[in-house]
Structure 1
Amino acid sequence: MSRREIEVADRTWSGRALDLASVVLPGVRRVRAQKIPFARAWSEANQEALVSGKSLWVALGDSMTQGIGARTVSGGWVPRLDARLGDRFAVVNLSMSGARIADVLDDQLPRMLALTPALVTVLVGANDMLTPARRRGVEKRFIDLLDRLPAGRSVVATLPHGNAAADTVNALLDTAGARGRIQVADMRGPALGPLRGSLADDWFHPNDVGYARIAGIFEGPVRAATSFRVGD
């Protein structure tokens, strides 16, 4: 079986597993039902952002940047952080539920090329950690991602997962951060706080409490990347 066939089979298996879980577990079904309305809400908000005349913040990533699991779209970490910053940006959220690093590279980054963002945030990789097949090649894809992000204006989250692939990616991010190419939003260790009370009904995505914590993790690095002082 070729690598492409393995990836297709892996994606198909994962999709079927989630479909089955959504039937058996009401919490999974409730959270999955947010995908279309949240994506539609962001699409409409993006159109408004592009004609706002404000500095652009482009958010890249997966369902966590969509805010899936929060009670409403505004409960996700991106709107929460935007409010903390005083709504200084017009947010263009190019994230997509289920996205992996390859989706950011192949779809989201090319769409960003037509823009000139003052800030870029990246929170992706959880879907790449789900199986050994998905972890294959993660280091190379993250190297490509870092090479293509605008230097000095990008904030990238580390992976909280405790495996060798995540450790390798996090080392790459630490090195890029030390060189000043990116700011690092560190989600390792105790940064995300206790899981109890911070997960949505599917026990995978954050809820409002979890997203508030993620907004807090990103705030310092975002202010550093945009020359804002914490407390401004």
Structure 2
Amino acid sequence: MGDSFTEGVGDPDPTRPNGLRGWADRVAEVLAASDPDFGYANLAIRGRKLAAILDEQLEPALALQPDLVTIYAGANDMLRPSADVDGLLERYDEAIGRLTGTGATVLVWTAFGARKSRFYAMLRGRFAYYNELVREIADRHGAQIVDYWRMSEYDDWGMWDVDRLHMATPGHELMAIKVLDLLGVPHSLSQPTPIVHPVLSSREQRAADLQWTREHLGPWVKRRVTGRSSGDGISAKYPVLTAVRQG
């Protein structure tokens, strides 16, 4: 359950639904390798805010009677200056309670630390508050935390896509390892090598920042202003339990 993070944006694979693979597909492949009856659903859709994730995905997820549920929701809300963090996390609390109440293992995420991002620097306090509420929710309901906030490996821009908003393939590969390790599932996944970016001069960096603003930040802001979403017209990759194709 979730948004672009779980859908797999930044990890392209034209042979898969929505043209994406992602960390969740990678985890599912490992789990399926030891269980021929394993079924995988991925309900996440890019751009979804917390309320939409719960409104659209919670009941379908419960109907699947899952043994394991992952959910990362709220990141898109935290980027809005008017987000009601307390109100949003009250709904999240209720949803996590319903998921854990089924007996399923439930994984939730803290927000990314963004220690080296000027774009996110002004929001780190809000992210930290969100994280504390997520930790309280996990403690209350017995969910497990994937602690993105403390993963210093993601301070390396080689883990990120060119839009600086989504993990690139190495970032998804590493997240799959983090999840499997938390679950205690044996695997043979290799530690990914971050993308190597050229060292830029100050002038080159300014030009790169302007290009990023024009190609990525500008369209993102325009969608916010016009009420559109990158997920408009997008469907869930795997809306029902599906046999997993090995990567």
Fold similarity call, TM over 0.5? yes
In the alignment, what sits opposite 2:62? Answer: 113
Q: CA contact under 8 A between 1:69 and 1:205: conserved in structure 2?
A: yes
Cα displacement string for residues 157-192 of structure 1 (whole angstroms, at most 9, x for unaligned residues): 111255344323322332344456101111013344
In the alignment, what sits opposite 1:26? Answer: none
Trace 1:143-222 onto structure 2 (pairs within 5 A). Answer: 143-151=93-101, 152-161=104-113, 163-178=124-139, 181-221=142-182
- Give the TM-score of the pair, scaled to structure 2: 0.60
Matched, 1:98 2:44: no
How many residue pairs are counted as aligned between the two chains? 167
Cα displacement string for residues 56-112 of structure 1 (whole angstroms, at most 9, x for unaligned residues): xxxx00011111111215640011112333444311111111111101211100222
Higher relative contact order (CA 8 A, sep 6+): 2
What is the SS of the residue equivalent to 2:65?
A: coil
Task: Give the superposed CA RMSD.
Answer: 2.4
Structure 2: 5+ residue stretches without partners? 114-122, 188-247
- Percent sequence identity over matched residues? 30
Q: Which amino acid aligns with 1:143?
A: D
Q: CA contact under 8 A between 2:6 and 2:24: conserved in structure 1?
A: yes
> Does 179-188 or 160-169 show the bigger shift?
160-169
Structure with higher Rg: it is: 2
CA shift for structure 1 position 200: 1.5
Matched, 1:231 2:231: no
Trace 1:122-141 onto structure 2 (pairs within 5 A). Answer: 122-136=71-85, 137-141=87-91
Q: CA contact under 8 A between 2:93 and 2:137: conserved in structure 1?
A: no
Q: Which amino acid aligns with 2:93?
A: I
- Give the TM-score of the pair, scaled to structure 1: 0.63
Structure 1: 5+ residue stretches without partners? 1-59, 224-228
Q: CA contact under 8 A between 1:63 and 1:95: conserved in structure 2?
A: yes
Taking a change above 3 Å as real, the CA distance of residues 138 and 167 of structure 1, as seen in their structure-2 partners, is: farther
What is the SS of the residue equivalent to 1:149?
A: helix
Task: Tell me, in whole angstroms, the C-alpha distance in 1 between the residues paired with 2:90 and 2:57.
Answer: 18
Q: Which has the higher helix share?
A: 1
Q: Which amino acid aligns with 2:134?
A: L
